[in-house]
Amino acid sequence: MPLPPLVEPVATLTDAERARTARHLSLAGLGETGQRRLAAAHVAVVGAGGLGSPVVLALAAAGIGTLTIIDDDVVELSNLQRQVVHRREDAGSLKVDSAVRAAAALSDTLVRPVAERLTADNATALLADADLVIDGSDLFDTRVAVAAATEELGIPLVWGTVQEFDAQVTVFWSAPPAGHGPVVLSDLYPAGSVGALPTCAEVGVLGALCLQVGSLLALEAIKLVAGIGEPLLGRVLVIDGLRSRQTEVPLRGATAATKAAPPPQPRPITAVGPGALGDTLVIDVREAHEVANGMIPGAVHLPLAQLLADPAAVRGPVVIVCQTAVRSRRAAEALRDAGVEASILAGGMEAWTASTAVRTAEATA
């Protein structure tokens, strides 16, 4: 069901903007009034990475009046496979700076860079003057903070996530127009239901899928601002990139009486420091290209997918290690559920490498 337009239109478009957006002006259902609404809108984009990059390009090209881009990270070469607002020469620079340059090359959209990490403490202040928020962040804690702020402010949140070859896109809104029920993040992911998620650095992500999802996020924002089409409020679009399948899943807001009960608290996984390994067998669950750079002496290489396929085949006790202790926790939980005694190396190989460097420095001092 269509929703009312999110903003009132600006009075007029400049001649240059009319020429630049001519294909929008002739588009039935959008037209000049819709384009003037886009010019009046202020959209905040959280993250200038794999999802935020195509969002920024699409919305600047579409003629959104104001974009606020929030990201405190810097560009790395490994970002360029999917983060298309950045260039090789931007490596080491703030992502918001290259995002501003890319947007400015497309239109006269006013772009406000915020080189600050969004947290639960500052989210409401950072998003307060936006008409709509798009969440393209890569940490679930950040997503929770964004969702809480938009719920408090009563503004729509266009939300998407990509992991490996799969994606989800939806719209959350705690205070939608009359006739539409509120739907918020906790309706899709109840508090406590999401554990530690592997990062794209650990499991990878398909760059082309990020571009697809980013474009869909921008499309949802345009529909909401202009009041056209049927936004994904109350629906989750689930994308299987490998099979080119898109499935819609209905999502309803939970009433106070139907909210999920708190999940049972998981038994804690024991974490040991680099100096406490002793003679315990160490299993490295990283991928082959990662262990090529070095392993803990005496460790056995068993990629995570193989371990998860048959955790009962492992004989404990063992200490599991990965790069940052995210995958090792998943492995240890699977082993524990299979009755195998397992702990993890606190901090993963990053902690081991740092500890080894300290010991080497002390030995040579």
Domain containing residue 83: CATH number: 3.40.50.720
Least confident piece of the model among 204-208, 210-214, 226-230, 357-361: 357-361
- What confidence score (pLDDT) does residue 355 get? 80
With beta carbons less than 8 A apart as the criterion, state whether 253 and 183 touch.
yes
188 and 280 housed in the same domain: no
85 and 215 together in one domain = yes
Q: 175 Cβ partners below 8 Å, 6+ apart?
A: 154, 155, 182
- Domain that includes residue 330, residue range: 271-364
* 120 and 210 belong to one structural domain: yes
The domain tally of the chain equals 2
Distance of CA 358 to the CA centre of its chain: 34
Strand-by-strand arrangement of the 300-301 sheet: 271-272, 342-345, 318-321, 281-284, 300-301
The widest CA-to-CA distance across the chain, in whole angstroms, is 75
Interatomic CA distance for residues 301 and 350, integer angstroms = 17
Q: Are 355 and 223 in the same domain?
A: no
Catalytic residue among 322, 326, 344, 345: 322
Which of 250, 280, 298 is the C-terminal boundary of a domain? 250
Give CA–CA dist 346/355, Å, rounded: 11
Is the pLDDT at 57 greater than 90? The verdict is yes
Q: Which pair of structure tokens corresponds to residue 29?
A: 């259902």
- CATH number of domain containing 344: 3.40.250.10
pLDDT recorded at residue 181: 92
227 and 318 share a domain? Answer: no
Q: Is residue 94 part of a domain?
A: yes
Cα-only R_g, the chain:
23
200 is catalytic: yes
pLDDT at 168: 96
pLDDT in tens, 278-298: 888 999 999 888 888 888 988
What's the CA gap between 268 and 252, in Å, rounded?
33
Last residue of a domain, one of 220, 250, 280: 250
Query: Would 259 be classed as within a structural domain?
Result: no
What are phi and psi for residue 153, nearest 5 degrees? -80, -20
Q: How far apart are CA 297 and CA 169, in angstroms?
A: 44
Does pLDDT of 264 surpass 60? no
Our measurement of the distance from residue 276's CA atom to the centroid of its chain's CA atoms, rounded to an integer in Å, reads: 35
Overall pTM surpassing 0.95 (yes/no) = no
Question: What average pLDDT score do residues 159-174 get?
Answer: 95
Token pair of 23, please?
Answer: 């294909």
Same-domain pairing of 191 and 112 = yes
Kindly tell me if the per-residue pLDDT of 275 is higher than 90: no
Residues 73 and 145 in one domain: yes
Is residue 8 domain-resident? no
Considering the domain architecture, whether residues 128 and 20 belong to the same structural domain is answered as yes
Please report whether residue 151 resides in a domain. Answer: yes
> pLDDT grade, residue 53 (50/70/90)?
very high
Q: Based on the domain organization, do 219 and 282 belong to the same domain? A: no
CB-based contacts of 48, cutoff 8 Å, min separation 6? 56, 69, 71, 73, 83, 85, 95, 96, 98, 99, 136
Higher pLDDT, 294 or 45: 45
Domain boundary among 250, 281, 303: 250
Do residues 316 and 180 both lie within one domain?
no
Pairing state between β 235-240 and 132-135: unpaired
Residue 260 lies in a domain: no
| Residues 75-121: tens digit of each pLDDT | 999 999 999 999 999 999 999 999 999 999 999 999 999 999 999 99
Query: Which run of H or of E encompasses 356?
Result: helix 348-364
Which of 2-6, 10-14, 65-69, 70-74 shows the lowest mean pLDDT across its residues? 2-6
Contact 50, 208 (CB under 8 A): no
Q: Are residues 208 and 303 in the same domain?
A: no
Decide if 143 contacts 185 (C-beta within 8 A): yes
Q: Is residue 359 part of a domain?
A: yes
Active-site entry in 45, 51, 70, 200: 200
Instruction: Tell whether 221 is covered by a domain.
Output: yes
- 3 domain-assigned: no
- Tell me, what amino acid is at 65? G
* 342 shares a domain with 220: no
